[in-house]
Chain A
């Protein structure tokens, strides 16, 4: 609930609009209170910083396909790593079975390796690969 009536509000508004006496002093006091203290070059500095931030912004989040590839690469790495250490994680066995059933043509191996490396964030193991 308002602590004043409409007429009180209007009277106060009129007093400030007239800008005389105490009201004038209050307005003057407000103007003098903490004036803007930004440097003359503030706008240019902020603009430069904003452009810099945009230029160096983190790359966009991976697409769903890239996420899927990363997951696949991780699974294959776990499977291969497990097999190399003598553990049968199941993934290695499944991979070998899949490759036995559907052999990958030799010319596709570099591309596949590059794809898996890229999705796992590793350098391309075969620079000549198309990816």
Chain B
């Protein structure tokens, strides 16, 4: 918390390089929040920039009551949500890298050797998983990312999303179960 406040104070004083440091420290988190919500790379880049510009102009409002990352994440999340609302909640979902592995029945080993076969199977599994993650609703996808990749506590996620902790747990439980079920079904039907 102290480091956060020191960094915020340095930015407000106009210390050279301080704001750039702030951006570097939090750009990954902001990217994850926006990308998982809007699911469009170009829009995500613009919104990341907009988030940090907004942070720059309103940093004087940061009181140190939460981690600076949480405060910035709230800005990013609200901008991403507003963006979705403007687009009528129809985020342009970029197509996954490949849809061909989406259904287990389409899987076929590429070569007869065991090692290559295993590698192909892993790749196919990852692709199927990628497609499944892409098809999750934006909110559960974001919650999974914040919890497992950013390793934020449920309480912090609640601060960012303004959701009750029970709701967050519920989303996490259901989406993890859904992904696990997909993997089980997929691997169970593999040749």
Contacts and interface: CB of A to CB of B under 8 A. Distances in A.
A110 B126 CA distance: 80
B176 A50 contact: no
B27 A28 contact: no
By size class, the interface of chain A is 20 to 34
Contacts of A31: 149
B174 interface: yes
Does more than half of chain B's interface fall in helix, strand or loop, or is it mixed? helix
A46 B176 contact: no
Interface string B123-161: 001100110111000000000110011000000000000
Contacts of B130: 29, 32-33
Contacts of A34: 35-36, 39, 41
Contacts of A38: 27, 31, 45, 48
A30 B169 contact: no
Contact of A46 (B52, B144, B174, B179): B52
A85 interface: no
A26 B27 contact: no
B174 A3 contact: yes
A46 B49 contact: yes
B75 interface: no
A72 B35 CA distance: 53
Q: Interface centre among A2, A9, A29, A38, by most B CB within 10 Å? A: A29
A36 B20 contact: no
Nearest to B19: A47
A128 interface: no
B63 interface: no
Contacts of A46: 19-20, 23, 49, 52-53
B133 A29 contact: yes
Contact of B20 (A8, A30, A37, A43): A43
Given A37-B41, A50-B52, A3 B173 contact: yes
Contact of B53 (A28, A33, A44, A50): A50
Contact of B23 (A2, A8, A43): A43
Q: Interface centre among B23, B53, B126, B170, by most A CB within 10 Å? A: B23
A26 B129 contact: yes
B180 interface: yes
12 contacts: A3-B174, A16-B148, A23-B180, A26-B176, A33-B133, A33-B134, A43-B27, A46-B49, A46-B53, A50-B52, A50-B53, A50-B57
Given A23-B180, A47-B20, 20 more contacts: A8-B173, A9-B173, A22-B179, A25-B125, A25-B129, A26-B183, A28-B126, A29-B126, A29-B179, A30-B145, A32-B130, A33-B130, A34-B36, A36-B31, A37-B31, A37-B41, A37-B45, A38-B45, A50-B53, A54-B57
